[in-house]
Copies of this chain bind each other. A is one copy, B any other.
Amino acid sequence: MSTSTTSDAFVLDDTTLDLLFREARTANTWTDEPVSVEQVREVFELIKLGPTAANSQPVRLLLVEQGPGRDRLIPHMSGSNSAKTAAAPLVAVVAADTDFHERLPEHFPHSPGARDWFKDDASRERNAIYNAALQTAYFIIGLRAAGLAAGPQSGFDKDGVDAEFFAGTTWKSQLVVNIGHPGENAWFDRLPRISADDAIRVV
């Protein structure tokens, strides 16, 4: 299945690198095989170990099963994303908790003043979004490590989703990730990527 070549740069084998990156793709169609909440919880238990600034861990997941919950989500998806998200066995609305700093006395206990580093609302929200984005990528990799396809979608009405699901909370939706096993014609050809020469400089 893999067309990749072995590189001395890695300690993991090509099969693993293919699963995580080279053969992994954003799926647009799904088989009927279900994905359990429990499996995604296990993925979370793995990926929550990934690093964040000041161990802030702002990412939160709303898992949306098929049924009434999904029906509330779909109207907020944009264009062709609606059908993909409607069909996915399980969907995660990935959010950032802008009040992550309230937990720093527990999560960053050696710096008792850490909570006060994030007093400013705008700066705290930027930190929440940035570190939740790091954790969202860990989550996508973790789903792939579980043999699942992840279909991240940024095309949705965030304010609508927040009003629908997160009213009265400090969770702010960032991304919708469809989760399942890829179905027939699950993806288009891979799109072009930037060259290392264009993306990397050395001093």
Contact = CB atoms under 8 A, between A and B. Distances in A.
Interface residues of A, number: 78
Contact of A62 (B55, B60, B152, B201): B201
Interface in A1-46: 7, 9-12, 16-17, 19-22, 24, 26, 37-46
Q: For the complex formed by this chain, how many copies does it contain in all?
A: 2
B51 A26 contact: yes
A117 to B, nearest CB: 10
Contacts of A131: 133
B50 A191 contact: no
Contact of A141 (B48, B130, B141): B141
Nearest to A90: B202
A145 interface: yes
Contact of A21 (B46, B61, B134, B137): B46
A122 interface: no
Which 4 pairs show the lowest CB-CB distances between chains A and B? A137-B137, A69-B203, A133-B133, A9-B42
